[in-house]
Amino acid sequence: MSQKRYAVIGHPIGHTMSPFIHKRLFEMRDIDADYGVYDIPTEDLIGKIQELKSLDGFNITIPHKQAIIPFLKQMDQKASLYQSVNTVKNNGCLEGYTTDPDGFLSALGQAGIPLKGRVVILGTGGVARTIAYEATMAGCFVMLAVRRKSLSHAASLSGALRNDVHNGDTETCRLDCLSGHIDLLINATPVGMYPQIDEMPVGREILENTEYVFDAVYNPMETKLLKTARECGCKVLGGLSMLVWQAAASHKIWDGSQYTYDEIAALCEETKQELLRVFPG
């Protein structure tokens, strides 16, 4: 049997840990597969579609989670509802899925962070949309906090949540107007991601009135946001465990593989050590 070929696409993507994680997942099930990296700027995506069709499947990160949709033959229910795709299976045609919900919910559960109360989500991209839907369906009050130029996108997402989720309770606000008690603050933007590690999406004054903070950024493992939140007494969680859990869910789609809690916990620890080795700063 010929070697299977997979990859991750995004831009910029020099920080990615996906190859390490996916290669380990393939090894754990004795599957002969290669996993590469495609750094594709937004304007180049359409020109790369034929090349991507030569793969058995691929993962998608910023900024292509919504841009890939017109090139797919079909999508699963959640990807269609959330209008966000992070996993593609080539089954003779390109099929789109989202495993971000699996990753997000499993990571929170593993860390003992409850998804309830007033949840503030920073951003309106693919991960933000997924998390916003999951939080709304869990009965949370969801506040979408964004920069002024993203207010129209936030309003559109808020309207979709109210339309798609029965009794959906959601509002939008500008980041500089954000205030009040927050049960769970979620950074679903790339702010603070390597190499811009000195950036933070909100100020300390917001964190001082927050219980839990989840940062979807995983490189660095402790972003400035998480470090400051910890200093303010918040319980915090970085994005690495979400990345590993959603990667495992991708393998279930690609080849039917399933992994135990202990296997994923061990892989999270391996990935942390590899991240520290590759990015020692």
Residues 206 and 248 in one domain: no
pLDDT (average), residues 20-25: 98
188 is in an annotated binding site: no
89-126 per-position pLDDT tens digit: 999 999 999 999 999 999 999 999 999 999 999 999 88
Residues 113 and 48 in one domain: no
| pLDDT score for 15 | 83
For 187, the 3-state DSSP assignment is strand
Residues 117 and 231 in one domain: yes
CATH number for the domain that contains residue 229: 3.40.50.720
128 is in an annotated binding site: no
Residues 191 and 143 in one domain: yes
Out of 65, 78, 89, 224, the active site residue is 65
- Residue, of 1 and 201, whose pLDDT is higher: 201
CATH number for the domain that contains residue 81: 3.40.50.10860
Type of residue numbered 24: R
Residues 106 and 234 in one domain: yes
Residues 25 and 142 in one domain: no
| pLDDT score for 160 | 94
Tokens of 117: 């109360």
Q: Is 65 a catalytic residue?
A: yes
Evaluated on CA atoms 81, 85, 89, 90, the torsion sign reads positive
pTM for the predicted model, two decimal places: 0.91
281 has pLDDT over 70: no
- Among the residues of 40-146, which ranges form H helices? 45-52, 77-82, 100-111, 126-137
185-200 per-position pLDDT tens digit: 999 999 999 889 999 9
Of 191, 176, 135, residue with least CA distance to 158 = 135
Residues 143 and 59 in one domain: no
| pLDDT score for 1 | 67
Residue 126 to residue 132: CA distance in whole angstroms: 10
Q: Which domain holds residue 257?
A: 4-98+241-278
Residues 34 and 140 in one domain: no
35 is in an annotated binding site: no
207-259 per-position pLDDT tens digit: 999 999 999 999 899 999 999 999 999 999 999 999 999 999 999 999 999 99
Count of domains in the chain?
Answer: 2
Which H helix or E strand runs over 240?
helix 240-255
152 is in an annotated binding site: no
Residues 66 and 188 in one domain: no
Residues 263 and 174 in one domain: no
Residues 179 and 118 in one domain: yes
86 is in an annotated binding site: yes
Residues 108 and 226 in one domain: yes
Cβ–Cβ under 8 Å, residues 101 and 130: yes
Which H helix or E strand runs over 162?
helix 151-164
- Give 76's pLDDT tier (boundaries 50, 70, 90): very high
